Amino acid sequence: MAVLDLLLLSILVLCALAAVRTRDLLGAVIIYAAYSLLMAIIWLQLGSPDVAITEAALGAGVTTILMIATISKTGRYE
């Protein structure tokens, strides 16, 4: 399990860096959704399935939808 944890955490850091550095805001939001999904799996690995369910529903679902709605109201490129 340590190998899986290391893999997940390294992809998590990569996703965080990519979400900050991307110029395309829609792409950044989608990378952020992937970050949230990985974070949910990591919560499950850490032994808190309650937080994992909430993270998967809120972080990957609702936050992404709200951010995409904001992007559709404003501009896609910064």
Partner 1 sequence: MRMQEILILKIVVRFVIPFIQVYGFYVITAGHLSPGGGFAGGTIVAASMVLYALTFDASQGLEKLSHERASLFESLGAIWYVALGLLGIMVGGNFLTNGQIGIPLGTPGYLISGGLIPLLSFGIGIKVAVTVVSLYYSLVEED
Q: Kindly list the residues in this chain that would bind partner 1 in the complex (CB under 8 A).
A: 49-50, 52-54, 57-58, 61-62, 65-66, 69-70, 73
Closer residue to partner 1 in complex, CB, 23/50: 50
Q: How far is the CB of 10 from partner 1 (least distance, A)?
A: 26
Q: How far is the CB of 45 from partner 1 (least distance, A)?
A: 14
Which residues lie closer than 8 Å to 5 by C-beta, 6 or more apart?
42, 45
Which residues lie closer than 8 Å to 32 by C-beta, 6 or more apart?
15, 19, 63, 64, 67
